[in-house]
Amino acid sequence: MAIFENILGTVGNTPVVRINRLAPKGVDLYVKVEAFNPLGSVKDRLALGIIEDAERTGALKPGQTVIEATSGNTGIGLAMVCAQKGYPLVVTMAESFSVERRKLMRFLGAKVVITPAAERGTGMVRKARALADKNGWFLTRQFENEANADFHSKTTAREIVNDFAGKRLDYWVTGFGTGGTLKGVSRVLRKERPETKVIVCEPADAAMLTSGAEQDRNPDGSPTKSHPAWNPHPLQGWSPDFIPKLTADAVGAGVIDRVITVPNAEAMHWSRQLALKEGIFVGVSSGGTFAGSLKLSADLPAGSTVLCMLPDTGERYLSTPLFGDIAADMNEEEQQIAQTLS
């Protein structure tokens, strides 16, 4: 067992796990389980990377308040980092996201400012920028900040390259939230594992990459309004109502080999199946990337190797439709089991 100076040393080095019961015959399907990060998601990486970069460059001053717009996981990761380092944190968050996330951030000491659901992700981004400008707070800019992608190049990508050294890796499958994982990992794979194809998944109801429509942006790369192809969807943390600059950079660099759209119901289904058949407890965005991996794998030749990113833990979704049919009280079968001792 390793001994760490503080909790931040435990970020990264997440496991790659073989899928056994759900994998198509003849395909070696693996998942990288980002729920093993200390606060349960891949966004712990960007939180640490952005804050440490800002400290190095002097953009973040001792005791300065940090602010970010978040669907939850980035805010939770930032709350951990800021708690450990002693920075006050304010997050803006659309009211449509799960209450578990609000409570977790507040438990870690963050202040959570709720924005109207109708204003979507662009609304919470505008609110964060306005508060930062008014109060002189440090805005982390997760959707545009190069430190986000850089940290994934230094950690996530290196872990994948090392784990598959001397082994086949034909496809790497991911979704996109900020685009940091996509940009940071894909550029390393293009250089060091050029045979590995990069596959991106997005919700069928918010097929922004598939549509090919341009995203209107401010000079700093932030969105001016919702993307025309975006519609509300339940895959929290996946595909905000705009194409983040980091994602657009990856598209522009030509590193994406294929985009797969995933219906909401399939994402929900495969999140549950990962729990039931593989014992892997992850959220609905993970179900989405896994669904995309299965679609991809259905047409692959025997012996192909696929690695799928699973972004977060299932505990972020207890109040969402993912757990809609999971009761707290005993069902009829459980009552019958209990009565066998009567």
50, 83, 87, 146 from 109: Cα distances, Å: 19, 7, 10, 26
Angle, CA of 323, 326 and 330, to the nearest 5°: 160
Q: Which residues are catalytic?
A: 43, 285
Strand locations in 95-210, DSSP E? 111-115, 138-139, 171-174, 197-203
Residues 6 or more apart whose CB falls under 8 angstroms from that of 182 comprise 174, 176, 198, 200, 246, 247, 250, 256
Strands in 28-33's sheet, in edge-to-edge order, are: 16-18, 28-33, 305-310, 171-174, 197-203, 258-262
171, 199, 243, 261, 300 from 258: Cα distances, Å: 10, 5, 16, 10, 14
Strand locations in 267-312, DSSP E? 305-310
